[in-house]
Amino acid sequence: EDLVWAVARWTTPGVAELLDVLADDPHPDVREAVEAVRESS
């Protein structure tokens, strides 16, 4: 979860695409972390 929050703050091109891929991760904790990051944006 901390890693998803850290990545979301990056300004590097491709971060949005990376979050899209992580949103489809088979692990529910990863998907929940991405959802939380997107809701806070």
- Indicate if the alpha-carbon torsion angle 8, 14, 17, 18 is positive or negative: negative
Question: Could you tell me the pTM of the whole model?
Answer: 0.78
Q: Tell me: pLDDT of 13 over 90.
A: yes
Task: Concatenate the DSSP letters of all residues of the chain into one string.
Answer: -HHHHHHHT--STTHHHHHHHHHT-SSHHHHHHHHHHHHH-
What pLDDT shows up at residue 41?
Answer: 76
- CA 3 vs CA 12, 16, 24, 25: distances in Å: 15, 14, 16, 14
User: What are the pLDDT digits (tens) for 17-40?
Assistant: 999 999 999 999 999 999 999 999
The residue ranges of every structural domain in the chain are 2-40
pLDDT band, residue 1 (cuts 50/70/90): confident
What pLDDT shows up at residue 19?
Answer: 93
